Amino acid sequence: MKQDKSFGNSLANFIIYSFLILFGISILFPFYNMVLLSFASFEDSMRQGLYLWPHSFTFDNYRRVFMDAQVMSSIRVATLNVLFGTSLAMVLTIFASYVLSRKNLPGRRGMFYFIIFTMYFSAGLIPWFMVLRALGFVDSFWVMTVPNAMSVFNMILMRNYFLSLPDSLEESARLDGAGEFVIMWRIIVPLSAPIMATVALFYAVGFWNQWWNAMLFIQDVNLIPLALLLRRLVIDNSIQFGDAMGVAQLAQEGIRVHSRALELATVTVATIPILCVYPFLQKYFTKGIMLGAIKA
């Protein structure tokens, strides 16, 4: 392809790239500053400024965070949420998507619209709360995963992906004597790695960041997930680092930590796991979204 090297084109490139770079910085800088301040000393934390370069570097804030029993408990709850919730959600989504992608299923369209209906209309918060309460979800670990176990949006993505697979694959398997479950598990799912990775990432992020259900239903401090703990730490100020042992131990060592730095260290701790997972799934992520959308 011939490249346009005119002045107008160069100027356009300059403006576009400048804009994109500035846009990128505006997104990255707050995160960068958060990480920087999470490693800052007590004195730097107190100044509450925006830093381009680290003025000090210490692991004390992170030591303090990881000494806190509540933080560790919340990380454990969030991790279990992700593991259990994502597993359950994937199983349900795969089954639902597969069934609704079968062209010979009687009433398929009706079932699909019925499920779609729930995406747009709900009975509202209060009936939902009352139903879950009646089902015994108050102060239950499962309230953070089971009620949100399947996302209709993700199901549609996956169903569309399944629909995009050639029918001949299924016909061949059927000729070899495969039943529906074998076809799904041995043929369709292995061929759907991109959409599996994409949807799994959606679910994992969602369950990691789960706080709404926990806020409504959880009173037991041992069941507070990390996202809710962060909310209370940063927005609500209703929770403070409660482990006096950690403070005493650091104080004995002559170490002072600032509450703002502790908040930012906790936020960083909460963000890093998902950031670490994302690069490994990114290639599937983009591809999966596109493929899921084509048939829609």
Partner 1 sequence: MKTKRFALLAILVLALIFIAACRQNETSTPEEAPTPTAAPEDTQTPEDNQDEEIEEQQPEDREIITVSVMNWGVANSFSDDGEICELYQYVIDHFGIMFEPIDVGWDNHVELAHLWAAANTLPDIIGAADFVATPTLSSWAEAGIIRPLPDNMERFPYLYHMVRQPSVTAFDIDGQTFFIPRGNDPYPEYTAMARGIINRRDWRESLGIPIPQTPEDFMDMWRAFMENDMMGDGSIVFGVLPDSTGILNDQAFATFGDTRHAWVQMPNGDMVIPGFERSALPLMSFWRDAFQEGLVDPDFITNPSGVSQELFALGRAGTLIRQIAPLHLRLVYDRFVELTDIDFFEAVEILMPPTVPGITPQFLRGTGFWSETYFSSRLDDYTMDRVMEYFNWAASPTGIATLQFGFEGRDWQWSAEGMIEQLTDINPDTNMPFRANAMYTFAAGGMGNLVMWGGAIEYVDPSIDPRLINMAREFLDNLLENYEFTPVDNRLRAINLDEVNEMPLRVSEEFVAFMTNSTATSHEELWEQFHSRWVANGLQRAYDAMTAEVAARGY
Nearest to 195 by CA among 87, 292, 64, 59: 292
Residue 242 found at the interface with partner 1 (CB under 8 A): yes
Q: Taking contact as CB under 8 A, which single stretch among the options 147-155, 191-199, 234-242, 280-288 is the one that binds partner 1?
A: 234-242
DSSP assignment string, 144-189: GTGGGS--HHHHHHHHHHHHHS-HHHHHHHHHTT--HHHIIIIIIT
Nearest to 149 by CA among 197, 88, 216, 200: 88
Binding residue (CB under 8 A) for partner 1 from 15, 25, 83, 296: 15
Look at the block and give the residue holding tokens 């680290």.
54
Residues in the chain, total: 296
Residue 19 found at the interface with partner 1 (CB under 8 A): yes
Please, what is the minimum distance in Å from the beta carbon of residue 148 to partner 1?
A: 17
Residue 237 found at the interface with partner 1 (CB under 8 A): yes
Residue closer to partner 1, measured from CB, 9 or 286: 9
Half-sphere exposure of 93 (CA within 13 A, CB side): 32
Residue 109 found at the interface with partner 1 (CB under 8 A): no
Q: Which helix (H) or strand (E) holds 80?
A: helix 69-101
**One-letter amino acid for residue 27 of the chain:** I
Residue 123 found at the interface with partner 1 (CB under 8 A): no
Binding residue (CB under 8 A) for partner 1 from 222, 253, 293, 294: 222
Binding residue (CB under 8 A) for partner 1 from 216, 255, 281, 289: 216
Residues that bind partner 1 in the complex, under the rule CB under 8 A:
4, 9, 12-13, 15-16, 19, 46-48, 125-126, 129-130, 133, 215-216, 219, 221-222, 231-232, 235-238, 242, 251, 260
